[in-house]
């Protein structure tokens, strides 16, 4: 029977027992937990490659992209490090609106996340002005940015698997005793698919 020990905010240790565990933590986070499932499971969890992902929200005093440029929703794929600019698909013809000023991945997401928010904003707006003109700067009111790879307990937008036919991915698509994996990026060990009579967890 799987057993888990957690520490409460007051510092006490609590033990929980269950018939099964569905482990849905991001794999690279779970790889750092103390467990008794074996080193091959840890290696398989570490095999997942976390993807850096970033976004910035830009709130404008006017919906200039609608009134001046006739853009009602959709995306501009750019050849800049913004990757994409997204326009809202709601609130058309309203008073104010919020754009996604960048939705980027990989090296571009890391480059922005290395900066404090004010510099992320300045960099994103300097790119956007080249596409939409001065209103991109002058109508701006508020902003907010997120870097998922820097978010505690999440640590990525999603994970990629270098191979989905190799031993690591196959291992996580099977239960380890009574522990099933349902991590981001679609590794999944489904009840019944590989173990109709699940083995007890190794202790
Ligand atoms: C900007 C963005 C856009 C996306 N767009 C799409 C899309 O269009 N389509 C799509 O399919 N996917 C998309 N994704 C990816 C998708 O959101 C993720 O793959 C999905 O949310 C992963 O779900 P999950 O439940 O596996 O992991 P998560 O949602 O990351 O959940 C993991 C949970 O584990 C918790 N946790 C961590 N450590 C512990 C611990 N020690 N104890 C207990 N809990 C813990 C975390 O707090 C978190 O709640 C997008 C992701 C991002 C960032």
CATH code, 202: 3.50.50.60
What integer is the mean pLDDT of 50-67? 97
Confidence of residue 9 (pLDDT cuts 50, 70, 90): confident
Determine the distance separating the centroid of ligand 1 and the alpha carbon of 55, expressed in angstroms. Answer: 15
Q: Spell out the residues 6+ positions from residue 95 whose beta carbon is closer than 8 angstroms to its own.
A: 62, 63
Q: Per the structure, how many domains does the chain have?
A: 2
Pocket probe for ligand 1: among 101, 158, 186, 188, the residue whose CB has the most ligand atoms within 8 Å is 158
pLDDT at res. 190: 42
Are residues 58 and 104 both part of a single domain? Answer: yes
Closest to 109 in 3D by CA, of 78, 74, 76, 150: 150
pTM across the whole model: 0.86
Domain-embedded: residue 155: no
Residues with C-beta less than 6 Å from any ligand 1 atom: 24-26, 29, 53, 55, 148, 153-154, 157-158, 183-184
CATH number at residue 138: 3.90.660.10
* Cα–Cα distance for residue pair 125/76, rounded to 1 Å: 15
Q: Mind listing the pLDDT tens digit for each residue in 39-52?
A: 999 999 999 999 99
Closest Cα to atom 51 of ligand 1 = 157
Are residues 58 and 135 both part of a single domain? Answer: yes
pLDDT at res. 198: 32
* Cα–Cα distance for residue pair 140/53, rounded to 1 Å: 23
How many other C-beta atoms lie within 10 A of the C-beta of residue 50? 20
pLDDT at res. 5: 79
Closest to 91 in 3D by CA, of 83, 101, 99: 99
Residue 200 domain boundaries = 1-7+16-48+161-203
Quick check: 193 pLDDT over 50? Answer: no
Closest Cα to atom 20 of ligand 1 = 184
Are residues 62 and 128 both part of a single domain? Answer: yes
Are residues 109 and 122 both part of a single domain? Answer: yes
pLDDT at res. 197: 30
Are residues 42 and 130 both part of a single domain? Answer: no
Domain-embedded: residue 156: no
Are residues 123 and 144 both part of a single domain? Answer: yes
Determine the distance separating the centroid of ligand 1 and the alpha carbon of 117, expressed in angstroms. Answer: 23
For the CA of 159, the nearest atom of ligand 1: 19
Are residues 42 and 64 both part of a single domain? Answer: no
For residue 53, give the H/E element and its range: strand 53-60
Closest Cα to atom 24 of ligand 1 = 184
Place of tokens 């609106």: 97
Are residues 34 and 112 both part of a single domain? Answer: no
Three-state secondary structure call for residue 29: helix
Determine the distance separating the centroid of ligand 1 and the alpha carbon of 157, expressed in angstroms. Answer: 7
* Cα–Cα distance for residue pair 131/32, rounded to 1 Å: 44
């Amino acid at each position: 029977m799987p057993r888990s020990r957690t520490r409460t905010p007051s510092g006490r240790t609590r033990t929980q027992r269950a018939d099964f565990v569905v482990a849905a933590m991001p794999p690279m986070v779970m790889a750092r937990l103390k467990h008794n499932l074996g080193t091959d499971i840890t290696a398989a969890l570490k095999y997942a490659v976390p993807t850096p992902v970033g976004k910035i929200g830009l709130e404008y005093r006017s919906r200039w992209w609608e009134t001046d440029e006739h853009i009602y929703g959709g995306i501009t794929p750019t050849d800049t490090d913004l990757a994409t600019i997204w326009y809202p698909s709601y609130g058309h013809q309203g008073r104010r609106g919020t754009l996604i000023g960048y939705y980027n991945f990989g090296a571009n997401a890391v480059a922005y996340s290395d900066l404090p928010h004010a510099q992320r904003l300045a960099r994103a707006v300097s790119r956007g002005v080249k596409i939409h003109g001065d209103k991109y700067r002058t109508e701006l009111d508020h902003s907010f940015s997120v870097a998922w790879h820097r978010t505690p307990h999440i640590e990525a937008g999603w994970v990629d698997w270098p191979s989905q036919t190799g031993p690591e991915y196959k291992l996580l698509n099977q239960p380890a005793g009574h522990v099933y994996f349902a991590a981001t990026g679609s590794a999944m060990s489904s009840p019944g698919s590989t173990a109709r009579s699940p083995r007890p967890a190794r202790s």
